[in-house]
Amino acid sequence: MNAKRKRIWEFPSFMSSKILGLSFDEAGLKRVFKELKLSNGGGSRSSSSSTQFLTALEMQQNLAQVCRTPSQHAKRVEKLLEKKFAPYKKEVGWADPEEICEFIETENGANGFRAVPLSALLWFAARNAARNAARNGNGKEQSNKSNEIATRLSSAVSLKEQQALRFYDELSRRLPGGKKVENVVEELRTALETNEKLQRNFKRLEQKREELISEREAVRAEKSRLVQELAEQRRESEELRRKVAKLGGEAVFEQVERVGAMRTEIQALREEMKRLNKENAELVKIFASEPAPTAAPAAAVNECKVAPNFNLNLNLKDTRVAYVGGVESLESCYEEVAQSFGCAFCYHCGHCERGRRGIENLVEKIDVVFCPIDINSHNACRLVKEACKLRNKPCFFLRSSGLSALKKALANFATQAQEQWRGAGAGAEAGAEVEAEAEVEAEAEVEAEAEGAV
């Protein structure tokens, strides 16, 4: 312990009594008595049961009496007070006692003292009085200085006590329902904590309120935009109704559906025309690559050589004619044309689902084959050509699947067979072009009709 600081038994009796009274309430005094094992006379005892008969004032007086003389109990009390006031040592532990006195008297001075309880201020002022006097003068002056500080502290504390008593008296008279003044501080502390909690909740609610207001404004703006869009859609719908009424009402929708169907059909025809053009181009390449017969002049239709023993008369009587491909619905018409030349007619649709055997069997039974290239499959044309070459049967590839083309081909074949009994009839070279002008005109008519309907 620093020798320049007063010990608790060196304090004036009123000072130690004030410090103990301000530091410990009744419950605190009981704990100190129990820890020190004090009895009524201030001596040691083995049990603390007698403390229950002492009042708070009696316990305070006995404890102050113990602290007036150097003893183990006084040292223990001093350590308890040092531990209690340790949190305030940084603010006031080395402060000038006169500065502390001035603050207690006038409540002016260092702002750091405002958070320090009065008991701690009295404790550090009393302890630092001896150190301050030793720094400024001799022993007599030290004593006078310490007494002066003690007197000032006593006067200031007495004034505070009077103020506190007046406040206590006023408060006790004004409290309703017989409430104790001692409970008011706890109620105020609870009220302050509740108020702080309410303030935090209020701030959160205010923030939530601002967010809700912002969301409400956003919803209003969105609603206004949707109302404007709805009005615009209604205006456009009304305008469309007027246009539909001018065009003929509900009938215009049927016309639009028909136009759509026509356009779909036109597109399908275009795709079919592209496919046929592609097949024709491939057929032209195939037949153009074949060498022409030595005995035959250049012609527009390719044909296989006629066998030397192939006996034909002028009207092709009893000649077996095969027609591969073309329009299936015109089969009877093809047969009538062939029969008009006296021919026996055989027809093959050109589909090759059964493989090449079907076409080979057909070629075995006939004398001559006619194969249109506009409505036929590339595979059928190839199989017909290979089968005729293998069996030395004449084969003619026609540009068109029409009846006139077949009739003309039969007439040419009869003439060539009569003029060249042993040679190969001049055939026209394959490479036919698809007659698409009729389809284009039909397509144009359909589109014109569709546009007129719209």
> Following DSSP, what letter does each residue of 163-231 receive, concatenated?
HHHHHHHHHHHH-GGG--THHHHHHHHHHHHHHHHHHHHHHHHHHHHHHHHHHHHHHHHHHHHHHHHHH
Tokens of 200: 């935090």
Question: At 73, is the pLDDT very low, low, confident or very high (cuts 50, 70, 90)?
Answer: confident
Query: What pLDDT, on the 0 to 100 scale, is given for residue 328?
Result: 87
364-384: average pLDDT: 87
Query: Structural domain boundaries of the chain?
Result: 8-174, 179-248, 250-290+436-454, 293-428
Q: Is 82 exposed, middle or buried (0-12, 13-18, 19+ CB in 10 A)?
A: middle
Residue of higher predicted confidence among 39 and 97: 97
Query: How far apart (Å, rounded) are the C-alpha atoms in residues 300 and 289?
Result: 14
Query: What pLDDT, on the 0 to 100 scale, is given for residue 213?
Result: 95
CA gyration radius, the chain: 65
Query: What pLDDT, on the 0 to 100 scale, is given for residue 440?
Result: 47
Query: What pLDDT, on the 0 to 100 scale, is given for residue 208?
Result: 94
Tokens of 83: 């531990």
368-380: average pLDDT: 86
Query: What pLDDT, on the 0 to 100 scale, is given for residue 358?
Result: 82
Question: At 281, is the pLDDT very low, low, confident or very high (cuts 50, 70, 90)?
Answer: confident
| Mean pLDDT of the chain, nearest integer | 75
Q: pLDDT (tens digit, 9 = 90+) per residue, 311-366? A: 444 467 888 999 998 888 888 999 999 998 889 999 988 887 666 788 888 899 89
Backbone angles phi, psi at 62, to 5 degrees: -65, -40
pLDDT at 429 over 70: no
Lowest-confidence pick of 137-141, 161-165, 398-402: 137-141
Query: How far apart (Å, rounded) are the C-alpha atoms in residues 136 and 144?
Result: 12
| Count of all residues that appear for the chain in the document | 454
Tokens of 261: 């169907």
382-401: average pLDDT: 89
3-state secondary structure of 397: strand
What residues contact 85, with CB distance under 8 A and at least 6 apart? 119, 120, 123, 124
pLDDT at 234 over 80: yes
3-state secondary structure of 429: coil
Question: At 206, is the pLDDT very low, low, confident or very high (cuts 50, 70, 90)?
Answer: very high
Question: Does an H or E element contain 309, and which?
Answer: none
Residue of higher predicted confidence among 396 and 119: 396
3-state secondary structure of 398: strand
Query: What pLDDT, on the 0 to 100 scale, is given for residue 87?
Result: 84
User: Do residues 315 and 342 lie in contact, with contact meaning Cβ atoms separated by under 8 Å?
Assistant: yes
151-180: average pLDDT: 78
Q: What fold, for 293-428? A: Rossmann fold (3.40.50)
3-state secondary structure of 54: coil
393-406: average pLDDT: 89
Residue of higher predicted confidence among 50 and 263: 263
Lowest-confidence pick of 34-48, 134-148, 330-344: 34-48
Angular region, 453: left φ>0, alpha ψ -120 to 50, beta rest: alpha
pLDDT at 228 over 90: yes
Query: How far apart (Å, rounded) are the C-alpha atoms in residues 35 and 44?
Result: 11
Task: Give the neighbor-by-neighbor strand order of the sheet with 320-324.
Answer: 344-348, 320-324, 368-372, 395-398
Predicted TM-score (pTM) of the model is 0.36
